[in-house]
Amino acid sequence: MRTVSTGPAVTATDAESIVFVVDDDISVRESLELFIKAAGWQPETFASALAFLSRPRPTVPCCLVLDVTLPGLSGLELQQQLAERTDMPIIFITGHGDVPMTVQAMKAGAVEFLTKPFTNDVLLDAIGGAIERSRTAVRQDSEMQVLWRSYASLTPREREVMALVVSGLLNKQVGGELGISEITVKAHRGQTMRKMKADSLAELVTMAARLGLRSARKV
């Protein structure tokens, strides 16, 4: 891989993004580190999978450039351990890949499988795409955490009212289901909308769907 002296324009978001490199070849690590810095991302390199696993989980967009053949835990084995990490797309690099290995890696979720030597542009595109995917995953995870915190702030009764309201029942019907007055239902509904930061019933319905909530309606 050629080294580069310049990179694309760097945005604040790009500068915060981390590109992890796990490769036991120090020359590859050093070359990739220079390339990643020039492109505007933050590089972090590791000589083994175990060394990488000891690193705390990042909270910013990131991706992993991973060699297939590593001492101890292999690249494919590391990929298996990171299967739930949708916020960290994996780009495999190898000097001797084969079709079965490529298929295995891609089926397990790798975004790219690059065989050395590869050009700077190919790697740049791969990393750029992976960082964008990570950025989306990080944003969605953050949104879900906020949503769950809002839902956790609801009282048990407010959760019951929310489940019935989003199932399509009118206030009067909700009151009948729960054995409370329509005025009380309205009060609980108002508190629920406020705590969930929902501006409309449609938005509350969408939130309930994202949370995977089921109707509390009696049968």
For residues 153 and 196, what is the distance between their CA atoms, to the nearest angstrom? 9
* pTM passes above 0.75: no
**Does the domain formed by 153-211 have CATH 1.10.10.10?**
yes
Whether 12-145 and 153-211 share one fold: the answer is no
Q: Tell me if 17 sits within 8 A of 8, measured CB to CB.
A: no
Q: Which residues in 124-149 are b (16+ Cβ under 10 Å) and which e?
A: bebbbebbebbbebbeeeeeeeebee
Q: Tell me if 16 sits within 8 A of 41, measured CB to CB.
A: no
Instruction: Identify the DSSP state of 82.
Output: T
**Six token digits for residue 74:** 């292999």
Per-residue pLDDT, 216:
47
Residue 149 has pLDDT above 60, yes or no: yes
3-state secondary structure of 104: helix
**Does the domain formed by 12-145 have CATH 3.40.50.2300?**
yes
pLDDT tens readout for residues 38-64: 999 999 999 999 999 999 988 899 999
Q: Give the strands of the sheet with 90-94, arranged side by side.
A: 42-46, 18-22, 62-67, 90-94, 112-115
Q: Tell me if 55 sits within 8 A of 21, measured CB to CB.
A: no
Phi, psi dihedrals of residue 65, rounded to the nearest 5°: -95, 115
Percent of the chain at pLDDT > 90 equals: 65
Parse the chain into domains and list their residue ranges.
12-145, 153-211
For residues 61 and 55, what is the distance between their CA atoms, to the nearest angstrom? 15
pLDDT tens readout for residues 164-219: 999 999 999 999 999 999 999 999 999 999 999 999 999 999 999 999 986 544 44
Residue 17 has pLDDT above 90, yes or no: yes
